[in-house]
Amino acid sequence: MKKILAADGISEKGIELLKNDFEVDVRDKISHEELLEIIGDYDALMVRSASKVSADVIERATKLKIIGRAGVGVDNIDIPAATAKGIIVINSPGGNTIAATEHTFAMMMALSRKIPIANETMQRGEWNRKQYVGVELKGKTLGVIGLGRIGMGVAKRALAFEMNVIGYDPYVNEERANDLGVKVVSLDEVITTADFITVHMPLTPDTKNMITLNEMKKMKSDVRLINCARGGIINEEDLAEAIKNNIVAGAAIDVFIEEPIKKDHPLIGLKNVVLTPHLGASTVEAQIGVSLDVSKGIKAALNGEPVTSAVNMAPVSQQVMQVISPYLNLAERLGCTICSIAEGPIKKIEVTFNGEITNVNTSLLTTAIIKGMLNPVLEKEVNYINAPLFAKERGIKITEVKQKESTDFANLIIVRAEAGGKECSVKGTLFGNEGRIVEINKFRVDVDPHSRILICPHINRPGVIGAVGTFMGKNGINISDMSVGTTVIKGTSLMVLTIDNDIPAEIFNEFKKLDVIFDAKLVNFYAV
The CA distance from 38 to 491, in Å, is 66
**Residue pLDDT tens, the chain, 528 long:** 999 999 998 999 999 999 999 999 999 889 999 999 999 999 999 998 889 999 999 999 999 999 999 987 787 899 888 877 778 899 987 778 899 999 999 999 999 999 999 999 999 999 999 999 999 999 999 999 999 889 999 999 999 999 999 999 988 878 888 888 999 999 999 999 999 999 998 888 889 999 999 999 999 999 999 999 989 999 999 999 999 999 999 999 999 999 899 999 999 999 999 999 999 988 999 989 999 999 999 998 898 776 767 887 655 666 787 888 889 899 999 999 999 999 888 999 999 999 989 999 898 899 899 989 998 777 666 766 678 878 888 899 999 999 887 677 889 999 999 998 899 999 999 998 889 999 999 999 999 887 899 999 988 888 889 999 999 999 999 999 999 987 766 678 899 999 988 888 899 999 999 888 889 999 988 655
Q: Report the pLDDT value the prediction gives residue 312, as an integer from 0 to 100.
A: 79
Which residue segments constitute the domains of the chain, with CATH numbers given? 3-94+284-302 (3.40.50.720), 97-275 (3.40.50.720), 314-441 (3.30.1330.90), 451-528 (3.30.70.260)
Helices 149-160/97-113 angle, 10° precision:
50
Task: From the candidates 258, 259, 434, 510, give the one annotated as an active-site residue.
Answer: 259
Antiparallel, parallel or unpaired: β 411-419 and 422-431:
antiparallel
- Among residues 384, 316, 323, which one has the least CA distance to residue 353? 323
pTM equals 0.66
Task: From the candidates 230, 394, 436, 452, give the one annotated as an active-site residue.
Answer: 230
Our answer to whether residue 230 is catalytic in this structure is: yes
Our answer to whether residue 259 is catalytic in this structure is: yes
Q: Report the pLDDT value the prediction gives residue 316, as an integer from 0 to 100.
A: 64
Neighbours of 246 (CB within 10 A): 10
Q: What contacts 142, CB < 8 A, 6 or more positions away?
A: 108, 154, 155, 158, 163, 164, 165, 166, 194, 195, 196, 197, 198
Neighbours of 34 (CB within 10 A): 13
The CA distance from 27 to 187, in Å, is 46
Q: Report the pLDDT value the prediction gives residue 489, as an integer from 0 to 100.
A: 65
In 199-225, which positions are buried (b, 16+ CB within 10 angstroms) versus exposed (e)? bbbbbbebbebbbebebbeebbeebbb
Dihedral sign for Cα atoms in the order 193, 196, 202, 208? positive
Q: Report the pLDDT value the prediction gives residue 88, as an integer from 0 to 100.
A: 86
Q: Report the pLDDT value the prediction gives residue 353, as an integer from 0 to 100.
A: 96
Q: Report the pLDDT value the prediction gives residue 85, as an integer from 0 to 100.
A: 77
Q: Report the pLDDT value the prediction gives residue 343, as an integer from 0 to 100.
A: 87
Q: Report the pLDDT value the prediction gives residue 313, as an integer from 0 to 100.
A: 66
Task: From the candidates 27, 113, 176, 278, give the one annotated as an active-site residue.
Answer: 278
Q: What contacts 146, CB < 8 A, 6 or more positions away?
A: 167, 168, 169, 199, 200, 201, 229, 379
DSSP code, position 39: G
Q: Report the pLDDT value the prediction gives residue 348, as an integer from 0 to 100.
A: 94
SS3 178: helix
In 477-507, which positions are buried (b, 16+ CB within 10 angstroms) versus exposed (e)? beeeeebbbeeeeeeebbbbbbbeeebeeeb
Our answer to whether residue 278 is catalytic in this structure is: yes
Dihedral pair phi/psi, residue 503, rounded to 5°: -105, 115
